[in-house]
Amino acid sequence: QVQLVESGGGLVQTGGSLRLSCAVSGSFFSRYDMEWYRQAPGKQRESVAAITSGLSTNYADSVKGRFTISRDNAKNTMYLQMNSLKPEDTAVYYCHGSWRRLDLWGQGTQVTVSS
């Protein structure tokens, strides 16, 4: 069974940086389209950044220029480098993977940015 496991969240001050990781078990990771989502308290889950199997990337306007999504297919891992963090980036961050009929979510990792 394929599993997605996020790590790297934590507490950081405004302007700080964090790097999130999403490790994917099983085979065929390189074929997955991957995405980071986040959900703040009382708000809907929103897409933050996406990277396709072909390495095309897309970002939410709110994080453009500050966040960078990447993947290492040899390590079955996706990353989200988050710089210049703001209090409004505080949320639970989830990784999501999809391929054919597979639609997979991680358990989430908390990111808290203090002002």
Q: Mind listing the pLDDT tens digit for each residue in 52-64?
A: 999 999 999 999 9
**pLDDT at residue number 1:** 85
**Band (48; pLDDT cuts 50, 70, 90):** very high
CA distance 29 to 59: 21
| pLDDT tens digits, 23-32 | 999 889 999 9
Longest C-alpha distance within the chain, in Å?
A: 42
Summary mean pLDDT of the chain = 97
Alpha-helical runs (H) found in the chain: none
Contact 70, 15 (CB under 8 A): no
